[in-house]
Amino acid sequence: MESNDRFFRRRANEEMKAAGRAVTEAARERRMRLAGIFLERLKSAQEDGSAGLPAAGDRSAFEWTSGQSLEQA
């Protein structure tokens, strides 16, 4: 099973590559926004793990910092 850190890092990289291939500026912005979300989650997961708090892995990968899932946003 893939760790949260590896998942968030991989997905951020994939989104940045997709942004580079995007045809329209709107698509590029959406991809970069997604990459930013994955990087935020990576940072949060790393901070939670080092502070002795419950790891970000205890939360869904789709719960963003606002506490809403992607479907609710």
What is the per-residue pLDDT across 20-35, written as a single tens digit (0 to 9) for each?
999 999 999 999 999 9
Domain locations along the chain: 4-48
SS (H, E, C) the chain: CCCHHHHHHHHHHHHHHHHHHCCCHHHHHHHHHHHHHHHHHHHHHHHHHHCCCCCHHHCCCCECCCCCECCCC
The pLDDT value given to residue 35 = 95
Instruction: Please report which confidence band the pLDDT of residue 62 belongs to, taking 50, 70 and 90 as the band edges.
Output: low
What global pTM score does this model have?
A: 0.65
Confidence label for 70 from pLDDT (cuts 50, 70 and 90):
very low
